[in-house]
Structure 1
Amino acid sequence: MEFIDYQLENREQFWEELDGILTQQIHSASLIEAAVRTFLRFVGKHMDQFLAADEDLAQCGLRFIGSPVFVKHRGQVRRRLITKMVGGECDARTLLMIGVVLLLDGRQHVDTFEMMEEESACRLMVDVLWRTRETDPRLHSIMLELVYELCRVQRLQRADLEAISTDFIEFLFQTIERNDDYERDPYSYGLIRVLLVLNEQYMLSGQGSGHDRIRVRIPNKVVGTLRLRGGHYRAFGSNIIILLNREREVCVQLLILKMLYQLFTTPETYEYFYTNDLRVLIDVFVRELHDLSDEAETLKHTYLRVFYPLLAHTQLRHSHYKQYELVKLFRQLEGRGRSQHFRPVSETTARLVTRCMHVPWLQAAAARSELPSPDLLAPDMALANTSTLSLPSSATVTENLTGASRTVPVKTLTTTLPEVDTLPNGNGVELISA
């Protein structure tokens, strides 16, 4: 099954020829290899003419992962595509097509991202992101999506994290700063998500879980960049607050909360955010904690874990923004006036609320509200040592790069955590500690 080079006259002929390639009968490993090679060569030759639109490129990828060649030999084809990508033998068009196929397949089957991590694909993708930042926006965008999806569901190895340079991190921040309207620019949103998920990876870097895993924490280059040059990258901070205000996907909410936790517990970044942005953040926290149901208690705990350093360490300690509303909120959360028909407040919720109420500038307001002034509890490190790396029992999978979606089952990756407390992972599924 070898590629025959000839001209196509129209789109219909292109799709007919593609279907012919993908419906061939495969009976041996050599024919699998030939089918993959023929597909990539055919698509690469005609990409500029017939796959210039993202919708067409996505449709091509979907036809491939739905074809007998792929469905019947999924593991072998995935492995071949990944090794071809990391082997450095691809031109830009081939790399783009492989990236689209792996992205669409990985969103439906986490096995794809597991295999990519085994082959150290992250290093290659970061390198491509760096090299194509000004020359190939289409390939750059696909690699950006792949890095996010891979890091969201797979814990990176030391070599993967070490391959990420400070210059690359600064490039992400600088690009966001130049175009801070992420709502009108999906690219900026993609950059923000990559920074958030890399922060997650650095937070996990000190937790060993196997002979090839990281045991000594690698310095967090995302937070480190903001420690040194945060004043130059304010747009990132403003945008993650806007994003938290509007984001309904639990995975992204948790990634943002962990980023905030890091910034509010690092002395050099206590006052990274503008004061007005912090006031917006208070309003978001109050609204979310009011609205979250008892069934979302673990997400509620995450908000509370971030709430304490937000109130105690930032410039809000000077302005005392909405102190009485906050006292009222914490009173409600600790169960005062709660009907007996509701289940009792958990010990963890009570402990976290008590910590928030110990913030000095809330104590006077608490006393005037006839609330006790609780004792200070030890700093809560559960947030810093938990993972968002897993998928729910069902997830939304994009059918094309920008269009409609459907729900398909995917398996869950479980990460063993050393803490007694449990936190939600990045997609709202609780991870149980050891």
Structure 2
Amino acid sequence: MGKKISRRGFFKVAGATALTTAVAGPTLWVRNASAQRKSVSLLVNSHFVPHFNQELERQSAEWGKARGVDTRVDVIAERDLGAKLASEAEGRAGHDIVVLRWMEAPVYQPSLVPMDDLVQELERGLGTFPEMARYVCRIRGRWASLPWRYDSGVAAINTEHWGKIGLSADAVGNLTWDQFIDAAAKLHANGTPVGVAISESFDSTHFCFELLWSHGAKVADDKGNITINTKETAAAIEVAKRLYKFMPPDVLAWDEASNNRAMLAGTCSWSINPPSIWAVAKRDKLPVADKLDHVAVPAGPAGRFRTAAPYSLGVWNFSPNVDAAKDLLRFLMQKENFLKQVEASGGYNQPYLAGHRGAPIYQRERALRHYEPPKETVHAWGWPAPASSATGIMISLFIIPTMFSKAVSGEMTTEKAIAWAERQVTRIYRG
């Protein structure tokens, strides 16, 4: 059995995994700030809908102008963000505000300013943060970071292809996995297969967790007990093996862009993705744009689930500008500003707070009607395992997608693939 991975060990993993690989150092876009005035800096990841980053910069500058503070928004490539966060936390120097993804708030909690006061203020005016936000951001009784937004793994479909086998978008969104596989066989025969990554990618993470949960399977329980080696996990893998027969064989090597390309080219009929595929098709006026829609992922014996990738905002406790940084966060979370962020993201960013719901884009764009608000049960990746660095490592090392890939490809039997995953997860959680 391997050595337990510590928080410091996570920093090392962060620089080496697909979640946080730094290829040749961080890739930053920087707006210069005056050295004569107080300044607040914000580090965020490059958004899949670039206009969102522009809107964030605009709002930050608006806040700064009103308060006589210079602002700087640094946009870093997604692949570089984890290594950059680790470097700033270890060196206790860097930005004032940082975006935190998935399980990064628990990892960096010792280096973050508690957000209890700001959370309470926002909840008084905008409603209570839901369980998912608490799961990721409330650590050991304190709010380590401010829940900001999330995106989720909904099913993107080409309605023209589904119409040819007699199914409307609403009908597709009501299928069970067994019914879906029957439909996938017909779509494959028509030359328009379904396709989702079964590989080391975050699209695959969406797919695998949704499939597991819908069969009642979980990697670990809320106490951290490893629970992956069950008949429910085996049943989920068997569904993936059946479905794979009707997908392009190279889904075993797909990355985050592969399904986007296939859907935009009109050669794929279904995939799991937030609405960036639709947003790009609409922006670029592609022929497929009017054929794209979003529906719920198929249901299993335990129900219909959707995964979420949560994002929060943290303030380093070594920042010299804590009060100003928290005031900027307060400004960004004002309803008017948050709704503009949603609009700029093409609906990609989903709100936690009831007071942030109702963005016009969700009423205006028919293709987003099933994306927000979700009709499925939504959980963050890793749920219900404790929000911790261990869960973050399990996700960043793609243990679950790799388990599915080993079984689907025939490299291992279902039973051996599950046993392999159990060993990896046990090493991470228990040492």
Q: Calculate the TM-score normalised by the size of structure 2.
A: 0.22
Larger Rg: 1
Give the structure with the larger helix fraction: 1
Structure with the bigger RCO (C-alpha within 8 Å, sep 6+) is 2
Give the structure with the larger strand fraction: 2
Q: Calculate the TM-score normalised by the size of structure 1.
A: 0.22
